[in-house]
Chains A and B, each alone.
Chain A
Amino acid sequence: MTSHVGRLYATAIAILVFFVLWAAVAARPWKTVAPDPRLQQLALREQALKRETALVKQVLALRAKAAPVASATAAKPAVKVVTLPPLTITRTS
């Protein structure tokens, strides 16, 4: 009886070990995983966008330096409507 139960346990353990080994071998841990080409493309695209962003910022900085034109939101010049006689007249260019 004892040896019969022992054989059952041994068989169960053997089956368990067999499946664990099978799963381990099926996972092929000795092979390196190839990176997903889509992820590689995304990474390349991200790098290209970062380069373009830096370039655009550089161009904008150069333009701002070369042509310091006040933007529409810049401080407004001091002007008001008065009833004084005009010293000069401005007209359509």
Chain B
Amino acid sequence: MTDETTNPIRDAIQTAIDDHEVILFMKGTPDSPACGFSARTVGALQALGAPFAAVDILPDPRIREELSAISEWPTIPQLFVNGKLVGGADIVTEMYEPGELAQELGVDAPEAPAEAPAAEAPSPAPMGIENRLG
């Protein structure tokens, strides 16, 4: 790692943010979140039925370092919509209740959520970042 002029991990993260309308950087996967905050954020997105890409930051600590450098946000999860950081678990949860999150995501606000978010399997998330490291 002596080449300081290129940063393939940061580039891959930026590309992933640019290429996906809604992308969540999280600990673990939507099916198996590795942290309560990530689980809560996934739950909010799934409750709205919003399609989203997800990247597990755990496999390589550099993903988190570079992500935080890009976003100027120190914690995980981080939700990006249209290339912009929306926030972490607290903000996403705060936005969920008044229907603000649905608006941000361009989906219908939940009417009266009769039951907890269904645990249906989300579509497989593009995991481009890891793949490009090889």
* Binding partners A and B: no
- Chain A residues in contact with chain B, CB under 8 A? none
A-contacting residues of B (Cβ < 8 Å)? none
